[in-house]
Amino acid sequence: MPEVFTLPALANFFAAGGSPVAVADAALARIAAWDDPALFLARVPPSTVRARAATLAAEGPQGRALFSVPFVLKDNIDAAGVPTTAACPDYAYTPAEDAPVVARLLAAGAVLLGKVNLDQFATGLNGTRSPHGAPRNPVLPDCVPGGSSSGSATAVAAGIAAFSLGTDTAGSGRVPAMLNNIVGLKPSLGLVPTQGVVPACRSLDVVSVFALTVADAGAVLEVMAGPASADRYSRAAPVGWRAVPAPQPAWQLAAPLPEQLVFDSPDDAALYDAALARAEALGGTVTRVDIAPFLAIARRLYDGAWVAERTAALRDLLTTKPEAIHPVTRGILEAGLDKRTIDAWDDFHAAAEARRLARALFARTDILLLPTAPGAPTLADLAAEPVAANSRLGTYTNFVNICDLSALAVPSGFRANGRPAGVTLVGPAFAEARLAGLGAALHAVAGVTLGATGAATPPPPVPPPLAPGELPLLAIG
């Protein structure tokens, strides 16, 4: 039995004759041992998990990419027959069908363990905005787990699930990765169907992946990607798109001007500088760039048109039963009720300008390397300032979806007091393979173990051979 549920470890175990039922039993035992009442909002019954594993064992792998791999779902993503609540009991409904992305994972052999906690309606970056409490952070219990995909991140860091799905509108797939010392992959807009996902900002939402390694996150994303015919926000990826690490001999990297960087502590600043230095040691050339336009568009996310998009998605509940909504979340949503459309257009035209500037940046830059967040706050920090401390967590993540970019969060080390830190690699849409290439290399040299498992970070995978005619770099229009 692999001590750590990475995809290669599980595949090796099965190749050597290991049983899917044994892995399922181990996952169920880890859930019991972890014993966090704030983690699962709905369990798949253990008997069902074992039965699924037994069926898979009888069938054999059949080439399936996620054969018998245990995973969990953020509870704003539909799984047939299991209630979807978005951490709001009054919102609950039981879908008859899996979300297309879930159906793809199951078809690839993955084993669902359950639905996990989140900041209610995926509104928040800290993990405490849930009536069920905050999932316990496996790395440092005083720290928030991060959100909104709180349970998705802690379940992977605790070694229960090999991977999990989150969602990401403003950083919900990246900030919890940092806070749990794991990998968070925010795919390009439209790459993964959002059909069957409770909307936050429907035009900006993506389904994201948490995993212990960059290679695992990419492998899961390759299973998830591709348009769903009924999904209005699906987009076709360019021909040749991949999510697993792409070979690249040298990197043109960008970093913010030093005066634009904010950190919670000198330790956090030093950890970011160290990550930049490691990127240079890996063959990167770092150019400082002005990220003020991106910071500016980020401020519009919660002040402008997009908060009204959240409100629009929940207007019925907000009007008929406001007390059903977490008070912090309700305050945010109510601010969207009275926004005027003529002002929204200022936001949209500003967003178009920010996207233009991002295109210009990535015409000369492979990757923008940012801190994932200024630092890791504690539960007490969030209790003291529920909105301000949350906003600070989104400093480096909020602009990414509005600017139509892809992003990958990887661990970068720990402060002296044990709090985790991370960097996020940002690229243009559909540059997942490029991000994975540097991300895996950076992760391997960050001097960290995987999540809270204590297992060593593997060396970066050898990139797959190029297909005939394939270029070593994914060319982006």
Residue among 68, 74, 186, 412 flagged as catalytic: 74
Beta bridge partners of 258: none
Looking at 68, 149, 172, 391, which residue is catalytic?
Answer: 172
CB 301 to its own copies: min, Å: 13
Is 50 one of the binding residues for its own copies (CB under 8 A)?
A: no
Q: What mask, x for binding its own copies by CB under 8 A, covers residues 114 to 153?
A: ----------------------------------------
Residue nearer to its own copies on the CB measure, 30 or 315: 315
Does residue 233 belong to the site contacting its own copies (CB under 8 A)?
A: yes
Q: Is 315 in the site for its own copies (CB under 8 A)?
A: yes
User: According to the binding rule CB under 8 A, does residue 362 interact with its own copies?
Assistant: no
Distance of CA 235 to the CA centre of its chain: 19
Tell me, yes or no, if 339 is annotated catalytic: no
- Residue 449 DSSP class: B
Question: Quick check: 64 binds its own copies (CB under 8 A)?
Answer: no
**CA 393 to centroid of chain Cα atoms:** 14
Amino acid letter at 440? A
- Taking CB under 8 A as the rule, which mask of x and - marks residues 405-444 in contact with its own copies? ----------------------------------------
CA distance linking residue 183 with residue 397, whole number of Å:
15
Annotated catalytic, 19?
Answer: no
From candidates 36, 168, 205, 309, binder to its own copies by CB under 8 A: 309
Tokens of 147: 């959100």
The Cα 35–Cα 25 span in angstroms is 15
Q: Amino acid identity, residue 426?
A: V
Which two structure tokens, joined as six digits, stand for 344? 């929204």
State both tokens at 228: 């769903």
Cα separation, 153 vs 172, in Å, equals: 10
Question: CA angle 310-316-317, nearest 5°?
Answer: 80
Per CB under 8 A, contacts with its own copies among 322-361 are: 336-346, 348-349, 352-353, 355-356, 360
Give Cβ neighbours of residue 243 (< 8 Å, ≥ 6 apart): 185, 187, 217, 218, 219, 221, 222, 225, 432, 433, 436
Which residue among 9, 223, 305, 436 contacts its own copies (CB under 8 A)? 305
148 is catalytic: yes
Binding residues for its own copies, rule CB under 8 A, total 36
Q: Per rule CB under 8 A, is residue 47 in the interface with its own copies?
A: no
Q: Which residues contact 357 (CB under 8 A, 6 or more apart)?
A: 293, 294
Is 468 a binding residue for its own copies by CB under 8 A? The answer is no
The binder of its own copies chosen from 234, 390, 406, 412 (CB under 8 A): 234
Q: What tokens were used for 385?
A: 């300032």
Which residues are the active-site residues? 74, 148, 172
Residues found near its own copies in the complex (CB under 8 A)? 202-203, 229-234, 236, 238, 305, 308-309, 311-313, 315, 336-346, 348-349, 352-353, 355-356, 360, 477
